[in-house]
Amino acid sequence: MSDILNFYIKSPHVFFNDQSESFENAEFAITGVPMDSTSSFRPGSRFAPYEVRKISNELESYCIEVGIDFDSLKVCDLGDLIIDFKVTATLKRLARVVEELITENKVFTIIGGEHTITLGEVLAASNLYKDFKVLILDAHMDLRDEYPAELKISHATVTRRIGEKIGFKNILILGVRAVSKEEIDFCKKENFNRYLTSETILTNFGIVKNVLTHFLKPKDNVLLSIDIDVLDPAFAPGVSNPEPMGLTPISMMKILRIITSLPINIVGFDVVEVSPPYDVSGITSLIASRIIKNTICYIANKRSKTLKRP
């Protein structure tokens, strides 16, 4: 491993799926970011990387949808990013780590932590790609300019900051159902309409593929961010900011299968906002772990098919 990874990451006490390929041989690299510095309602997502790893060891490894055993994949669990007291410093550390992973041709998986960390991933990708897109699954728009007052970088402003960095035309949000008037006014001002509500998805699922194929073009570089609160609290109660009327796990996994089947380059993805202190029987950590396992299997399946083409 490089000096950057050794300097900014500490080894895990528990490995995801109780396995870890060497970094040199790995195709996928998992990193935890135990940060919840700006959480405004229910803090505790800093405990998620450990809990998600721990419960992953109790899940079956075989992904029946694509016929791939997670155990057979070359996945390296690097450990957790060392968090700084300053949010901006943590994001810069994460950006350096993610940039290193992309440069080394690893598909990265980030286990949050709060949603703010996605900005660090975007900072890395923007240094490496002239153009790339961010696809977000989230109950919230996260388009406030400040939240709370005078705080420009937080879990509630992360999409706004990402849009300012890469352009709002390069962002799509799926599963929205919790917004502020400030955010709606901003969308009207910026003519930003690249989002689908959870109700639209659940009542007219066929529109999802049409929207995705219109937004994502062949060979696009894409960063995928999954805020676990996109799911209804009935399925994911242990989140930082729960909102009712959300997606079901099956509907979300169908969306992820569509995304990963498209002819795009998924550079990496994150799963954020699991808050173990509020998680009944580990339900939310359980679904987060399953999302990670299946999504890596989906990506591996698509990559294997691409490699087999003449």
- What structural domains does the chain harbor? 3-308 (3.40.800.10)
**pLDDT tier at 181 (50, 70, 90 boundaries)?**
very high
Note the pLDDT of residue 2. Answer: 83
The secondary structure of 51-68 as a DSSP string is HHHHHHTTS--EETTTTE
Note the pLDDT of residue 307. Answer: 58
Q: What is the pLDDT of residues 60-85, one digit of tens each?
A: 999 999 999 999 999 999 999 999 99
- Residues 213 and 218: their CA atoms lie apart, in Å, by 9
Region of residue 93 (left: phi > 0; alpha: psi -120 to 50; beta: else):
alpha
Beta carbons within 10 angstroms of residue 196's beta carbon: 18
Note the pLDDT of residue 309. Answer: 47
Do 222 and 263 touch, CB atoms closer than 8 A? no
Note the pLDDT of residue 59. Answer: 96
- Residues 165 and 150: their CA atoms lie apart, in Å, by 19
- Residues 232 and 210: their CA atoms lie apart, in Å, by 24
Average pLDDT over residues 245-261: 97
Nearest to 272 by CA among 154, 148, 110, 159: 110
- Residues 78 and 20: their CA atoms lie apart, in Å, by 8
Has residue 306 got a pLDDT over 80?
no
- Residues 304 and 296: their CA atoms lie apart, in Å, by 12
Q: What is the pLDDT of residues 107-120, one digit of tens each?
A: 999 999 999 999 99
Q: What is the pLDDT of residues 14-27, one digit of tens each?
A: 999 998 999 999 99
Q: What is the pLDDT of residues 134-161, one digit of tens each?
A: 999 999 999 999 998 889 999 999 999 9
Helix-strand-coil split of the chain, %, nearest 5: 45, 20, 35
- Mean pLDDT, rounded, of the chain: 95
Strands 68-69 and 28-33, by their bridges, are: unpaired
Helix boundaries (H) for the chain: 3-8, 48-56, 87-103, 118-128, 158-166, 181-190, 198-203, 206-215, 249-261, 283-308
Note the pLDDT of residue 150. Answer: 85
- Residues 22 and 35: their CA atoms lie apart, in Å, by 26
More confident residue, 6 or 120: 120
**pLDDT tier at 308 (50, 70, 90 boundaries)?**
low
Note the pLDDT of residue 310. Answer: 43
Average pLDDT over residues 217-221: 96
CA distances from 303 to 149, 166, 296, 309 (A): 44, 26, 10, 10
Note the pLDDT of residue 301. Answer: 96
Q: What is the pLDDT of residues 267-293, one digit of tens each?
A: 999 999 999 999 989 999 999 999 999
- Give percent of the chain above pLDDT 70: 98
Residues present in the chain in total = 310
Both tokens of 128, joined, read 């490496």
Average pLDDT over residues 204-216: 97
Q: pTM for the full model?
A: 0.96
